[in-house]
Structure 1
Amino acid sequence: MFSFTKKQKGNRLTALAQSPAGTVCATIVKTGTDKPRLELCGFYPANPGQSATGHLQQLARQLKLSGNSVTTLLPIGNYQLMMVEAPEVPPAELKAAVRWRIRDLIDFHIDDAVLDVFDAPPSGARGVQESLYVVVSRTSTVKSLIEPFEAAGIELGIIDIPELAMRNIAARLEADKDGIALIFFGADHALVTLTRNSTLYLARSMDFGYRQLQESPELVDRLALELQRSMDYYDRHFQQAPISTVALCPLPVELSDLASRLGEQTGLPVQTIDIADIVEIGGDVETDQLGECVLAIGAALRTEATQL
């Protein structure tokens, strides 16, 4: 998404996703085979009172990140993802035209916005490219994300979004060829993506996560309803065959009946994906932390090499 370098350096990409509690890190190495290797994965808590910059400096030394290509993720809630009609302008004028088009669709002044675009899949039977996805955030939000990395001497190549990190994971699953609904749970939010052939068709976020599901298991009914609405829209708007595969990203906590209850509500088989199906797990990776690292792994699986 928001790009700062022309291309990824080398065959190694590290994703660092920060939170007030610490940083999730994942490093993917392209091996020349069908499966890239997950070389590093873990959550690294910040020391009490430690600044974001100080924590990143410590990680850069500890994990020997010097020379790595590095990406990070905008947290959900810090940006908007919207689909707009594609302007009929030359490529060099595209972002300016989109900026004009979305000025009344955001709740802050367009001069304070930073945005990027990527293709939305064609809708209807004609298969004509009519729309674009637009990611837009406040300039101050993006700047505050970048500043600790710069101060720590870590060169960011890309700032990505969770929806595309999930797209990267789904793209490595066999079911993505025919369409797959993938569900990710953070502590206090959930994200559903519908993808097919490595293309993001639809994404929906919800204001509850695995903590709320632990306390109120009946929230699975809301999840099932939102999932069904998303799949119905996918069928109608994009005129695709119905999605028949629903998958859950690994969780850092045990929710043993989530898949079965969601399957009962939707009438579809639901299973949790195994990260080992999409990447080779390096010998130094602590597998019990994979649930914490899902989005970072997805971000590090990024394959786009050039700016939009």
Structure 2
Amino acid sequence: MTLSSVVHRFSRWFTRRDNTSPVCLEVRPDGIAWTRASAAAGVQAGFVECLPAKRQEALRTLVSDRSWEGAPAVIVLPIDQYQVFQVERPEGIEDNELADALKWKLKDFLDFSPAEAVSDVFPFPEDASRGRGPLVNVVAARKSLVQELITLVEEADLELECIDIAELALRNLASRMANSERGVALVHLRERYGQMVVCRGDTLYLSRRLDVSHEELRDAGRQENAVQSLALEIQRSMDYFESQLGQVPPATIRLVARDSVLPLTSMLSSYVAANIETVAWSEFGLEQELDSRCVPAWGAGLVAEEHA
């Protein structure tokens, strides 16, 4: 598979070519998160710890041990591997030319040349533009990073089917929760940061990085400040959703955290106007709690899981 056939159309990659359930991977600095769903085995997920220099060996071993040779694969980019911008959609440009045309508008915002970027677009909700004209979300990532991930997958004897991004993977998860007219807010806490998305149905309205680490939340000396900082970022995101996007915010925020023992729901509830609830994995038909490190990979696979 050539680079040009993969990197120019993120949005088209969400359409599966067949009913074969893909292997979904998120490649991280500390390892590789993976999930795969099937009618026979249900949802399988895991995390392989490895240094970047050992990724290829680790993925090859995983593929061999699970007999995945030749299987379709989906790569999920974490939010620190790409950027998303809201850009006014110009008139007279065809959909298939939009991504390449708009990436040059980002030259003052990227820390690398647009010539070294791969890009695509996904819709921005019309009812949130607030009179600014039609907008689109433009995704930009370094071409060298994308090519490295393509090579990693192909040399492990997997067939790359698409590349997804973290907020759209979380959108897939949020869209399957009890979804009222006010939508769903989902917070996913990772080791070094968190991510919040607000969706209504299949439409992503808002995505925010939350700058708080698992270590800060666990440390007794820093915990109170970390919880207050996290709550403030969450509340600001909800306020932005209401004041700048003109939407009624969800009444409940769903939380996925690595440490289920830490009473974060009650700790955050003191500072956030909305209710805070942890995600119940049983509502997705899972018998066991999903490793939070695998959530984006699993979310990316939910599109295909409907057909598995």
Say whether 1:10 aligns with 2:19: yes
1:138 is displaced (CA, Å) by: 1.0
Q: Distance in 2 between matches of 1:237 and 1:126?
A: 8
Query: Which one of 280, 283, 286 corresponds to residue 281 of structure 1?
Result: 286
- Paired letter, 1:133: N
Per the alignment, in what secondary structure is the counterpart of residue 222 of structure 1?
helix
1:92 aligned residue:
96
2:4 aligned residue:
none
- TM-score normalised by structure 2 residue count: 0.85
Say whether 1:24 aligns with 2:54: no
Say whether 1:60 aligns with 2:63: yes
1:208 is displaced (CA, Å) by: 2.1
Q: Distance in 2 between matches of 1:257 and 1:118?
A: 36
Preserved CA contact (<8 Å) 1:168 1:299: yes
CA offsets 1:197-224 (integer angstroms, 9 cap, x no match): 1211111102322222111222111111
Bigger mean CA deviation after superposition, 122-131 or 136-145: 122-131
2:183 aligned residue:
179
2:105 aligned residue:
101
1:11 is displaced (CA, Å) by: 4.0
CA offsets 1:134-164 (integer angstroms, 9 cap, x no match): 1101111111222211221211111111111
Preserved CA contact (<8 Å) 2:170 2:197: yes
Per the alignment, in what secondary structure is the counterpart of residue 12 of structure 1?
coil
2:243 aligned residue:
236
Q: Distance in 2 between matches of 1:5 and 1:195?
A: 18
Preserved CA contact (<8 Å) 1:86 1:131: yes
1:288 is displaced (CA, Å) by: 5.1
1:138 aligned residue:
142
2:274 aligned residue:
268
C-alpha spacing 1:255/1:176, structure 2 compared with 1 (3 Å): farther
Map 1:140-289 → 2, pairs under 5 A: 140-175=144-179, 177-215=181-219, 216-218=222-224, 219-249=226-256, 251-278=257-284, 280-281=285-286, 287=288, 289=290
1:27 is displaced (CA, Å) by: 1.0
CA offsets 1:158-216 (integer angstroms, 9 cap, x no match): 11111111101100001354212110011111111111112111111023222221112
2:7 aligned residue:
none
1:26 is displaced (CA, Å) by: 0.8
Bigger mean CA deviation after superposition, 191-200 or 121-130: 121-130
2:300 aligned residue:
299
Identity %: 31
- TM-score normalised by structure 1 residue count: 0.85
Preserved CA contact (<8 Å) 1:122 1:238: no
Q: Distance in 1 between matches of 2:58 and 2:206?
A: 35
Per the alignment, in what secondary structure is the counterpart of residue 51 of structure 1?
helix
Equivalences, count: 293
In structure 1, runs of 5+ residues without a counterpart are: none
C-alpha spacing 1:133/1:4, structure 2 compared with 1 (3 Å): closer
Preserved CA contact (<8 Å) 1:73 1:161: yes
Preserved CA contact (<8 Å) 1:16 1:71: yes
Per the alignment, in what secondary structure is the counterpart of residue 192 of structure 2?
coil
1:77 aligned residue:
80
Per the alignment, in what secondary structure is the counterpart of residue 193 of structure 1?
strand
Q: Distance in 1 between matches of 2:291 and 2:193?
A: 18
Preserved CA contact (<8 Å) 1:181 1:246: yes
Cα RMSD (Å) of the superposition? 2.8
In structure 2, runs of 5+ residues without a counterpart are: 1-9
